[in-house]
Amino acid sequence: MSLLLLGIGSMWAKKPETTGLQEVRNVIFLIGDGMGLNQICTLDSPNNFERAQATGFSKTASYDHKVTDSAASGTAMACGIKTRNRHIGLDKDSLPVPSLLAEMHDRQFATGIVVSCMIDHATPASFYAHQPNRHMSAEIIGDLYRSSLDYFAAGGRKIVSSDSLTDKGFVVCNSLEASANARQGRVAVLLADEALPPASQRGDIMQQAVKDALRFLSNQPQGFGLMVEGSQIDWTCHDNNGDELRAEMADFNEIVGICMDYCDQHPGTLLIVTADHETGATTLIGEDKTPTFASKKHTGVWVPVFAYGTNAGQFAKVQENSSFKEAILRMLAGKKNPGKGKKQ
């Protein structure tokens, strides 16, 4: 009898975790690499960040450093664990941990990635790869071939093998025009040989890539998880280049708007916009808000979190960057683990 009561007690104890949550069908995770609050404040008002329905903060320290790199923070957000700097998809003991996108795939969701860097860079790699060092490009690309991604658009044509992607069922496209008619299967869009050009020189290719990803993933029956990175915000701050920072933030702001509009049109979609860390100890000086940099490196300050759409209010708090994965998995609609790789 007491065992029975214990059982009932634990059932009840679990309930409040899910109380008040609505089912989420689509998840869009936008990461501005190196994007602290001052980077966002380079934007004039009104801007799309101001449309957020909930705001919070994310604490970015890694397992072994107060100042994280993009590998440990990408892994924290993707895999839900604090790990060592340079680790990709591995915990502090170097054991692999599945990413949010991999777990969503196991639950029959479609998954995708859109980034303006090469596909092997730390942030996108954290969502599909498991390697002890972010610079192990060949091994990371090997994990890309073994991954469960349904769609990716990124730079890095020179480091991937079209044949290897084709062998894994990807339709390989060298432009968004080529991918525009894809409806099913798996799609790899290689947008450039290396990284995409800087925002001041690349037109609207990132906005078009995000729209293409949303179009493709919306066709999949179960819903989707999509990670998009404004990869080069970080690079402009490492370079202490205020003009390019403004251009990258204007570019990313448009992507935020596209994804918020998508949430408006598709109830059941959750959008989270945040950063992996701040870069440059960036401040904005004077009436002109001139970007001014006290560092060429990352800093350990909290970064903002903007949420929009279904369950946005859940993120209106101070949270560890390793808390997003579990928070999102708890909200997902649909069937759980019907069997990896099985056709339904």
What's the full length of the chain, in residues?
Answer: 344
Query: Looking at beta carbons only, is 106 or 239 nearer to Zn ion?
Result: 239
Query: Looking at beta carbons only, is 220 or 236 nearer to Zn ion?
Result: 236
DSSP letter for each residue of 238-277: HTT-HHHHHHHHHHHHHHHHHHHHHHHHSTTEEEEEEES-
Between CA 157 and CA 174 the distance in angstroms is: 8
Between CA 134 and CA 86 the distance in angstroms is: 5
Between CA 54 and CA 48 the distance in angstroms is: 13
Task: Tell me the chain's radius of gyration from C-alpha atoms.
Answer: 20
- Which residue's beta carbon is nearest to the bound Zn ion? 234
Rounded to 5, what percent of the chain is helix, strand, coil?
A: 35, 25, 40
User: How far apart are CB 146 and Zn ion at their closest, in Å?
Assistant: 27
User: How far apart are CB 266 and Zn ion at their closest, in Å?
Assistant: 33
Query: Looking at beta carbons only, is 212 or 248 nearer to Zn ion?
Result: 248
User: How far apart are CB 34 and Zn ion at their closest, in Å?
Assistant: 6
Between CA 222 and CA 332 the distance in angstroms is: 10
Query: Looking at beta carbons only, is 228 or 270 nearer to Zn ion?
Result: 228
Sheet holding 151-155, edge to edge: 170-173, 186-192, 151-155, 110-118, 224-230, 26-32, 269-275, 303-309, 54-59, 318-320
Say if CB 90 and CB 72 are below 8 A apart.
Answer: no
User: How far apart are CB 206 and Zn ion at their closest, in Å?
Assistant: 18
User: How far apart are CB 238 and Zn ion at their closest, in Å?
Assistant: 6
Query: Looking at beta carbons only, is 229 or 234 nearer to Zn ion?
Result: 234
Query: Looking at beta carbons only, is 71 or 101 nearer to Zn ion?
Result: 71
Query: Looking at beta carbons only, is 103 or 234 nearer to Zn ion?
Result: 234
User: How far apart are CB 134 and Zn ion at their closest, in Å?
Assistant: 11
Query: Looking at beta carbons only, is 155 or 223 nearer to Zn ion?
Result: 155
User: How far apart are CB 276 and Zn ion at their closest, in Å?
Assistant: 8
Say if CB 227 and CB 270 are below 8 A apart.
Answer: no
* Contact partners, residue 77, CB within 8 Å, separation at least 6: 29, 31, 100, 126, 274, 276, 321, 322, 324, 325
The token pair that represents 213 in the structure block: 């990803």
User: How far apart are CB 227 and Zn ion at their closest, in Å?
Assistant: 17
Site residues, Zn ion (CB under 5 A)? 234
Nearest 10 degrees: CA dihedral of 20, 77, 273, 204? -140
